[in-house]
């Protein structure tokens, strides 16, 4: 796998918090205005759901923004996703910070508590050979090509999935999940998804952490996941 070919195709950051936001027609309009005041222009909104606000920005890069008063629980959710970033992580972080600013201006709460948060980054890499799964199966896992014959059908692709529980010794323990697969739409590419979930509540009034979370996951991809795939330091 060529680590220099990394192409990020999805970035998402999600917060679950308490108390839940009081979402009504007036607050939906205020949120849209607050987004504009924070420099987030948008193409479309969807206010049809009673307990949810959805805002879509098309340019300069696509952003999907959701604020949800979650049913059956006294918590809310703020989700920001760029499903086709075409931009640097730093620019996504700047947009996400502006969105949080608009959210807090619309639904202020002095002692808001972040219950949990998570970040997901998806990347594509160029394989060094003709097929990413062949590279993963034979080079990284050192398996014979004939060993797949037991499955009884040709294998178009596949991969690995790792789930790592939080470590108590970490300053902020996170559950980590990593998926490494051949990309079925283009089998010369490797698909890698890395997700961190921080399940422990923050202290009431603690800020939304955006850059810190995003950069932590990004560093893990570069320092751990990429090195694992290419078989470094074995």
Arithmetic mean of pLDDT, 138-150:
90
Give the SS3 label for residue 34: helix
Domain segments of the chain as ranges: 1-12+116-234, 20-108
Q: Band of the pLDDT at 150, cuts 50, 70, 90?
A: confident
Q: Band of the pLDDT at 5, cuts 50, 70, 90?
A: very high
Distance of CA 41 to the CA centre of its chain: 22
Q: What is the spatial distance between Cα 25 and Cα 133, in angstroms, rounded to a whole number? A: 50
The Cα angle at residue 147 between residues 143 and 149, in degrees rounded to 5: 145
DSSP string, 47-76: --STTEEEEEE-SSS-EEEEEEE-TTSS-E
Q: Which residue has the tokens 């594509």?
A: 124
Q: Band of the pLDDT at 234, cuts 50, 70, 90?
A: low
Q: What is the spatial distance between Cα 17 and Cα 204, in angstroms, rounded to a whole number? A: 10
Q: Options 2.40.10, 2.60.40, 3.90.320, 3.30.310; which CATH number does 20-108 get?
A: 3.30.310
Structure tokens at 45: 């909104």
Q: What is the mean pLDDT of the chain?
A: 93
pLDDT tens per residue, range 76-102: 999 999 988 766 899 999 999 999 999
Say if residue 232's pLDDT is above 80. Answer: no
Q: Please give the radius of gyration of the chain, using alpha carbons only, rounded to the nearest integer.
A: 20
pTM of the prediction? 0.94
């Amino acid at each position: 796998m060529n680590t220099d070919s990394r192409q990020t195709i999805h970035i998402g950051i999600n917060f679950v918090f308490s108390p839940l936001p009081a979402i009504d027609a007036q607050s939906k309009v205020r949120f849209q205005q607050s987004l504009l005041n924070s420099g987030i222009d948008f193409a479309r909104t969807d206010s049809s759901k009673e307990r949810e606000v959805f805002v879509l920005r098309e340019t300069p890069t696509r952003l999907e923004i959701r604020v949800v008063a979650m049913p059956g629980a006294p918590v809310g959710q703020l989700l920001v996703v760029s499903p086709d970033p075409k931009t640097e992580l730093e620019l996504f972080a700047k947009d996400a910070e502006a969105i949080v600013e608009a959210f807090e201006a619309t639904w202020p709460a002095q002692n808001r508590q972040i219950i949990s948060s998570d970040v997901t980054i998806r990347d594509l890499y160029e394989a060094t050979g003709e097929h990413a799964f062949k590279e993963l199966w034979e080079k990284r896992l050192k398996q014979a090509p004939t060993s797949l014959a037991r499955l009884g059908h040709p294998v178009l692709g596949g991969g690995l999935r790792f789930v790592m529980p939080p470590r108590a010794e970490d300053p902020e323990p996170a559950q980590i999940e990593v998926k490494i697969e051949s990309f079925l739409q283009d089998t010369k590419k490797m698909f890698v998804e890395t997700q961190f979930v921080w399940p422990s509540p923050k202290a009431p009034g603690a800020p939304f952490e955006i850059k810190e979370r995003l950069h932590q996951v990004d560093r893990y991809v570069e320092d751990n996941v990429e090195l694992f795939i290419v078989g470094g330091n074995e």
